[in-house]
Structure 1
Amino acid sequence: MRSKRLVAPLLCAATAIATLPVIAVAGEVSDAAEDAAVSAPSGQLSYPETRTVDIVDTQFGVDVADPYRWLENDVREDKAVAEWVEQQNAVTNTYLNDLPGREALAKKMTAFYNYERFGLPKARGDRYFYSRNDGLQNQSVLYVRDGLEGQGRVLIDPNGWSDDGATALAGWEASADGSKLVYAIQDGGSDWRTLKVVDVASGKVLDDEIKWVKFSSLSWVGNDAFLYSRFPEPEEGAEFQSLNTNQAVYYHKIGTPQLEDRLVYATPDAPKTGHSATVTDDNHWVVITSSVGTDERYEITVIPIGKGDWTPMTLVSGFDNEWDLIDSVDGQLYFVTNKDAPRLRVVRFDMADMAEEPTEIIPETEATLSNASIVGNKMIVSYLEDAKSLAKMYRLDGTEAGVIDLANIGTVRGFGGKPGNPETFYRFSSFSQPGAVYRLDTNTGESTVFATPELAFDPTNYTTRQVFYSSEDGTDVPMFIVHRKDLDLSKGAPTLLYGYGGFNISLTPGFSPTRMAWMEAGGVFAMANLRGGGEYGKVWHDGGRLLNKRNVFDDFIAAGEYLIAEGITGKDQLAVEGRSNGGLLVGAVVNQRPDLFAAGHAAVGVMDMLRFDRFTAGRYWVDDYGYPNREADFRNLLSYSPYHNIRSGAEYPAVIVSTADTDDRVVPGHSFKYTAALQAADTGLAPKIIRIETRAGHGSGKPTEKIIEEYSDIYAFLAHHTGLAVE
């Protein structure tokens, strides 16, 4: 089954209250914007003075001032923004340099990172392709073996691509016979990709080069051509901020220039529609999945291969349901869908009569279906049961063929493969165990170890439990709580609470060296499975998006209250953390309940909910957030937008914001504006600082060295303000 795309209340009154940007009934604009650039109150850090501009937008009778809009400008193109970034980083670095525990945390993180780890192998022809990291390499290296027992050799090593380690191998796909491999290069954390091709036998990089690729699958047509998706080349200087529209699918034949690539599928009359192409393993069909946002509502177009004209045919129209391709077998296309099944089911289409409704093969169950693949003559289906993995095998007629034995609380990944070949690989990991890579034979059901990491710590020294707590409206929400077994919780312990709650993304148990360092130092890690995610299917997602978005914040606040009520932590010991949509979450709950938390980390967050849809991929997010130009959505967004709801006069916890100069997913202007507003408001003595990484993006491709530097800074900040003594 292909990977899912990206990369998540009450109606607001007409006079929504905010601190910094002016929000009032039209005609009642105050002087707040002019007074915004004030010195920090006595006793606080001395923040750089951020200039303001006189900008007020009027929507639906509400005037909204945006005095920091100039901070939306690209830091690479605007000297004033670059100077602001330099000044902010100077304040932040001075503050962080004086914190205890940074070096100790960095040392612990380095130790937890330092283990040999393998990616899941992919078999193509007689060759096996897999990634490997010796432990502290900035980027994992791609290896190839001739045969399962062959000696692995380096095929692509991205560690020499840049001096700072910030140029990454961001995806790859080998041809069916394993003779060639197309790979994607990511530079400085940007979502843009450049594609290259390597001859596997010789290791020679061919002359082929494809640019302006983003949010693309890579799929071979035979052994000498592949499909990819790209956007038009943006205007010079606008590549990191301009909206991504008019994505199209192209066919590239090896040995030809990109200008000669054949346009396979595009929708110029619907420029906001994105397209991703997959070739079935039997090389009979191109399956194009089209979407208009991040919600799993797709149209499916198919193109028969080998008939010459490449005429597209609609299989599913309407953007009404999720349709994730599994594969093709004997003239049947198998899909996972949520049509008439909120927790998903498996169906198949008879391609001899595309007008017929699909036939149900595996019905919906109480567990949420998360992945399906056809391996040999079996189908492997992974489920989430209360955010924990389980996996089963089925015959292609839908009858059960066995349960795959997994450990207790954890997450299974993998099970890629192809019809006719019974071999597949998977990994099972937990919060304290990165997990071995296993090879499974679907004919026998037997699993054998392909690679096992040697660890310098004992995973059994940590304990994981799952609890259920009640949110404000009575909904039961699951949460994982992890810590050292010998930790004394009689007086509570500094606790890091993590959440996301959006875009149908499920948070599941997984190994993180940075969180392990927090727990090794004596902290508790908690992860709440908030509404808006995909843990319980469509109903759970719908319960935390659009006009229901406030449920996500209520769920997160209730998680914090539960941890305090149960004595696991105290108000002065509780830190909250979230990334991207989770950064929005942290900003919103800190505004809503500043009294509940000791510290917060808002990473690469969506902070201005009235302008998120104007930059790069932001337009996709209207499925989860709504449309700022529609009144009901506007009032809802305004009611919780972190930038617009900072409460001057309230005592806020310590806040550290993090972003990167080349984040072209959530542009850094969100974090810049939010930080400027937070620093200008009277929110108490606790620091409000921003850490701005250079040559880094939204997160993917970040070198190991930078991750350790970043999180030793951030967790030292959170430790200091929650009382965690790091030695």
Structure 2
Amino acid sequence: MSFRAIAAAALILSMPDASPAAPLAYPVTATVPQTDVLHGVTVADPYRWLEGDVRTQKPVADWVAAENRVTQAYLATLPGRDALKARLTQLFDYERITLPEARGDRLFFRRNSGLQNQAVLMLDDGTGASRVLIDPNMWSKDGATALAEWSASPDGKRIAYAVQDGGTDWRTIKLLDVDSGKVMSDDLDWVKFSGIAWNADSSGFYYSRHPATPRGKDFVSAVYDHSVYFHKVGTPQDADTLVYASPENRGYYNIAETSADGHWLVIRSSTGSDDTYEVRVKDVTDPDFALFTLIAKRTDDWRFVGNIGTSLYFVTNAGAPKYRVVAFDNITHVPRDIVPEGKDTITGAHLVGDHLVVTALHDASTAVRRYSLDGVPQGVVALPGLGTATGFESGPGTGQRTSNTAYYAFTSYNAPTTIYRYNADTNASSVFAAPKVAFDPADFVVEQRFFTSKDGTRVPMFIAHKKSLDLSKGAPTLMYGYGGFNINVLPAFQVDALSWMEMGGVYAEVTLRGGGEYGAAWHDDGKLLKKQNVFDDFIAGGEYLIASGITPKGGLAIQGGSNGGLLVGAVVNQRPDLFAAALPAVGVMDMLRFPLFTEGRTWTDDYGDPADAVQFRNLYGYSPYHNIKSGKDYPAILVTTADTDDRVVPGHSFKYAAALQAAKIGDKPHLIRIETRAGHGSGKPTSKQIDEIADLWSFIGYWTGLTRK
């Protein structure tokens, strides 16, 4: 069938009945006779044409428009949607401040006054008053152009900042002169997954970029040749110096960092998703010091902490599944232990003055401990409660020491993010910025429970709800999960979760295998040929919520994004009877073709490579797109993605939604909501967030039986 015919077919649609429960008439999505023979198995892929770039392929754009019309018409029939949007607007309307960067007497931080689409970069020059440096809300009418990564120079006189347009992972780095407020002429393009690492004298910085990519391939094609460059302030990009490239490993991501004292350049090379392979270091104050390979061809994780003179500190899981802190002295290949592996999983370490501050996870909640620079225990850093603490980055101090002052953030499901100033010498914290919110945190309760998965593994789950909620008969519940890539899912305040709890629902978050909450073994038990453990954990979590009486039968909704979207798609196929509604967001839905697009090749560390026969059979066995079971009654499903998602390309969700709508899986709605001028999630304007949450919660609220009072 021609693309013209495909486009015409995609536009055939009808509007839903006024009742949300009425069966839907979906757009007719054309199919193509596409099959592949993979390892002796014939695999049909009738919706492959939907992999096309929505910006350049008109048939795909027409299909997107047709699906959005059906979805928006259906969502308009749902009760309580306008009231929910109004309440979300109230809840979002509070001041939010990010962790500051200290440069001498100057503090730089981002601030959102409440309903601004994008946070604004601010400067506090030590007088107690702050002023606006960069306001991205002025950059576009729709608010979809965001301030992404940024870094202040050591002297505090310049800001290097990245511009993100429409949610894409691509960036353009620009420079701001702080004192004059003028944007300089330096524009650095084709930047993706890059740090901004200034040199000691503030004359320039290190960053990472790809070669230029032609339009039409920049949002879809696999990208290679990620290289580190040095940019000298005031010069054009074509004058930048290539510092490190890996032509023998074109798929590596090469990220540069510099030490607080400006002496050391550290370049970490990895496949980008799981295993770290190489670490190179250079004393930039010594012109005769060439890049030195400190870590070569390792499958361990190595994270640079900082330095004390010629001692370089790292956090690593080499020989320590729950991580340890080590130091390399005088550029030797053999490190010495500073903080050995313990019962809790170490997530980070920070040099703050004459102390080492180490964050760790105890049953997926943060614990913070203080040590001497040689690892002698010096007690704990007191936190407000069960939750997550991040930060503790210290600015430049004097000589070989960093400042004794750092800032950290604390958050939990019922505790909006508060910023604290921390003095490592006195081990004391004080509030730097605390939000004023339109609810009382004391009205909500957070607890942690444990349940048993299919293979007997003990799995934690956080459960949060209003204290006044009567659970004697259970309450509609939203269960969230991720489970992959060694990523920790930790307690954090989220307006969307709070609004669900305000409506009378329970919010549950499962600490699935595949994450890093319990170290390398926990991660390894949820990847490659053991990926099914993640799905089993999530299913067991849902069964526990119902069996314990927290959730009534027919009252469970599930949600996950990216790798979590894969999770939701897989468990719905495996246990459609367990769930009332499902929200798979920006998911990896075609497990046979994911390595072909943008960053997908880097995910084979966690998923396996479909080019391998054994891994293929495993992937094919749970791939959401390929395992939709006609003849089963599926829950209500609202797929979400975005037209410029160049992390998990929207073709995954397009194909999955088309297959759902074509299958005989019952009369509940199986819709897709496709955001425009948005990507994988970062940089999404506040207004778009509010609209999306109102749509999602009204959808699952209806199908779980939750009613708003």
Shorter-chain TM-score bucket reads: over 0.9
The answer to whether the Cα contact below 8 Å between 2:11 and 2:62 also exists between their aligned partners in 1 is no
Structure 2 residue 141 is matched with structure 1 residue 163: yes
The answer to whether the Cα contact below 8 Å between 1:293 and 1:622 also exists between their aligned partners in 2 is no
SS at match of 1:551: helix
TM-score (norm. length: structure 1): 0.93
Residue of 100, 123, 128 corresponding to 2:102 = 123
Residue of 630, 635, 659 corresponding to 2:641 = 659
The 10-residue stretch of structure 1 (680-689 or 289-298) with the greater mean CA deviation from structure 2: 289-298
Q: Residue 619 of structure 1 aligns to which amino acid in structure 2?
A: R
Residue of 268, 271, 283 corresponding to 1:289 = 268
Residue of 171, 176, 181 corresponding to 1:193 = 171
Please list, as runs of the form range in 1=range in 2, the aligned pairs for 1:526-675 lying within 5 A after superposition.
526-675=508-657
Q: Residue 346 of structure 1 aligns to which amino acid in structure 2?
A: V
CA distance in structure 1 between the partners assigned to 2:277 and 2:687 by the alignment: 39
SS at match of 2:460: strand
Q: Residue 452 of structure 2 aligns to which amino acid in structure 1?
A: S
Residue of 159, 165, 177 corresponding to 1:181 = 159
The answer to whether the Cα contact below 8 Å between 2:352 and 2:406 also exists between their aligned partners in 1 is yes
Which residue of structure 2 lines up, in the alignment, with residue 517 of structure 1?
499
Deviations 1:306-339 (A, max 9, x none): 3336622100101321110000112100000001
The answer to whether the Cα contact below 8 Å between 1:647 and 1:681 also exists between their aligned partners in 2 is yes
The answer to whether the Cα contact below 8 Å between 2:99 and 2:419 also exists between their aligned partners in 1 is yes
Deviations 1:691-718 (A, max 9, x none): 0000000000001000000110011100
The answer to whether the Cα contact below 8 Å between 1:126 and 1:177 also exists between their aligned partners in 2 is no
CA distance in structure 2 between the partners assigned to 1:253 and 1:347 by the alignment: 33
CA distance in structure 2 between the partners assigned to 1:310 and 1:693 by the alignment: 50
SS at match of 1:106: helix
Number of residues paired by the alignment? 689
Q: Residue 240 of structure 1 aligns to which amino acid in structure 2?
A: F
TM-score (norm. length: structure 2): 0.96
Structure 1 residue 125 displacement after superposition: 2.5
Structure 2 residue 154 is matched with structure 1 residue 172: no
CA distance in structure 2 between the partners assigned to 1:298 and 1:391 by the alignment: 28
CA distance in structure 2 between the partners assigned to 1:696 and 1:560 by the alignment: 31
Q: Residue 97 of structure 2 aligns to which amino acid in structure 1?
A: F
Structure 1 residue 296 displacement after superposition: 3.7
Q: Residue 573 of structure 1 aligns to which amino acid in structure 2?
A: G
- Runs of 4+ more than 2 Å apart: 36-44, 306-311
Structure 2 residue 88 is matched with structure 1 residue 109: yes
Please list, as runs of the form range in 1=range in 2, the aligned pairs for 1:243-254 lying within 5 A after superposition.
243-254=222-233
Structure 1 residue 437 displacement after superposition: 1.2
Q: Residue 640 of structure 1 aligns to which amino acid in structure 2?
A: Y
Residue of 378, 382, 393 corresponding to 1:416 = 393
Structure 1 pair 37–649 and aligned structure 2 pair: CA distance change class (3 A): farther
Q: Residue 153 of structure 2 aligns to which amino acid in structure 1?
A: S
Indicate the RMSD between aligned Cα atoms, in angstroms: 1.6
SS at match of 2:194: coil
Which residue of structure 2 lines up, in the alignment, with residue 311 of structure 1?
290
Structure 2 residue 386 is matched with structure 1 residue 404: no
CA distance in structure 1 between the partners assigned to 2:350 and 2:275 by the alignment: 18
Which residue of structure 2 lines up, in the alignment, with residue 508 of structure 1?
490
CA distance in structure 1 between the partners assigned to 2:467 and 2:123 by the alignment: 40
Q: Residue 101 of structure 2 aligns to which amino acid in structure 1?
A: K
SS at match of 2:298: strand
Structure 1 residue 242 displacement after superposition: 1.2
Structure 1 pair 679–446 and aligned structure 2 pair: CA distance change class (3 A): same
CA distance in structure 2 between the partners assigned to 1:219 and 1:393 by the alignment: 27
Residue of 292, 314, 327 corresponding to 1:348 = 327
Q: Residue 612 of structure 2 aligns to which amino acid in structure 1?
A: R
The 10-residue stretch of structure 1 (532-541 or 103-112) with the greater mean CA deviation from structure 2: 103-112
Q: Residue 359 of structure 1 aligns to which amino acid in structure 2?
A: R
The answer to whether the Cα contact below 8 Å between 2:276 and 2:299 also exists between their aligned partners in 1 is yes
CA distance in structure 2 between the partners assigned to 1:420 and 1:239 by the alignment: 40
The answer to whether the Cα contact below 8 Å between 2:390 and 2:409 also exists between their aligned partners in 1 is yes
Q: Residue 214 of structure 1 aligns to which amino acid in structure 2?
A: K
CA distance in structure 2 between the partners assigned to 1:365 and 1:296 by the alignment: 22
Which residue of structure 2 lines up, in the alignment, with residue 208 of structure 1?
186
CA distance in structure 2 between the partners assigned to 1:430 and 1:82 by the alignment: 40
Structure 1 residue 39 displacement after superposition: 10
The answer to whether the Cα contact below 8 Å between 2:167 and 2:682 also exists between their aligned partners in 1 is yes
The answer to whether the Cα contact below 8 Å between 1:293 and 1:623 also exists between their aligned partners in 2 is no
The answer to whether the Cα contact below 8 Å between 2:485 and 2:515 also exists between their aligned partners in 1 is yes
Q: Residue 450 of structure 1 aligns to which amino acid in structure 2?
A: F
Deviations 1:346-377 (A, max 9, x none): 000012x424x100000001000011110111
Deviations 1:257-305 (A, max 9, x none): 0000000000112101110000111111110000024114231011220
The answer to whether the Cα contact below 8 Å between 2:526 and 2:533 also exists between their aligned partners in 1 is yes
Structure 1 residue 83 displacement after superposition: 0.5
CA distance in structure 1 between the partners assigned to 2:237 and 2:415 by the alignment: 44
Please list, as runs of the form range in 1=range in 2, the aligned pairs for 1:52-91 lying within 5 A after superposition.
52-91=31-70
Structure 1 residue 114 displacement after superposition: 1.2
CA distance in structure 2 between the partners assigned to 1:594 and 1:106 by the alignment: 29
- Please list every run of 5 or more consecutive structure 1 residues that lacks an aligned counterpart in the other structure: 1-35
Which residue of structure 1 lines up, in the alignment, with residue 234 of structure 2?
255
Which residue of structure 1 lines up, in the alignment, with residue 479 of structure 2?
497
Please list, as runs of the form range in 1=range in 2, the aligned pairs for 1:225-236 lying within 5 A after superposition.
225-236=204-215
Deviations 1:234-261 (A, max 9, x none): 1232110111210000000001000000
Deviations 1:135-162 (A, max 9, x none): 1111111111112x43111111111110
Residue of 346, 354, 358 corresponding to 1:377 = 354
SS at match of 1:434: strand
Structure 2 residue 664 is matched with structure 1 residue 682: yes
Which residue of structure 2 lines up, in the alignment, with residue 452 of structure 1?
434
Which residue of structure 2 lines up, in the alignment, with residue 331 of structure 1?
310
Greater RCO structure (CA 8 Å; 6+ sep): 1
Q: Residue 554 of structure 1 aligns to which amino acid in structure 2?
A: D
Structure 1 pair 600–240 and aligned structure 2 pair: CA distance change class (3 A): same
The answer to whether the Cα contact below 8 Å between 2:410 and 2:418 also exists between their aligned partners in 1 is yes
Deviations 1:198-253 (A, max 9, x none): 11111111110100000001100121100000011112321101112100000000
The 10-residue stretch of structure 1 (106-115 or 711-720) with the greater mean CA deviation from structure 2: 106-115
CA distance in structure 2 between the partners assigned to 1:236 and 1:436 by the alignment: 42
SS at match of 1:572: coil
The answer to whether the Cα contact below 8 Å between 2:351 and 2:357 also exists between their aligned partners in 1 is yes
CA distance in structure 2 between the partners assigned to 1:175 and 1:38 by the alignment: 56
Which residue of structure 1 lines up, in the alignment, with residue 121 of structure 2?
142
Structure 1 residue 456 displacement after superposition: 2.0
The answer to whether the Cα contact below 8 Å between 1:89 and 1:691 also exists between their aligned partners in 2 is yes
The answer to whether the Cα contact below 8 Å between 1:109 and 1:516 also exists between their aligned partners in 2 is no
Structure 1 residue 407 displacement after superposition: 2.0
Which residue of structure 2 lines up, in the alignment, with residue 392 of structure 1?
369
Deviations 1:463-515 (A, max 9, x none): 01100000000000000010000001111111000000000011111001111
Structure 2 residue 27 is matched with structure 1 residue 48: yes
Structure 1 residue 192 displacement after superposition: 0.3
Q: Residue 461 of structure 1 aligns to which amino acid in structure 2?
A: D
The 10-residue stretch of structure 1 (566-575 or 334-343) with the greater mean CA deviation from structure 2: 566-575
Structure 1 pair 39–646 and aligned structure 2 pair: CA distance change class (3 A): farther
Structure 1 residue 37 displacement after superposition: 13
Which residue of structure 1 lines up, in the alignment, with residue 454 of structure 2?
472
The 10-residue stretch of structure 1 (638-647 or 124-133) with the greater mean CA deviation from structure 2: 124-133
Q: Residue 362 of structure 1 aligns to which amino acid in structure 2?
A: V
CA distance in structure 2 between the partners assigned to 1:608 and 1:44 by the alignment: 27
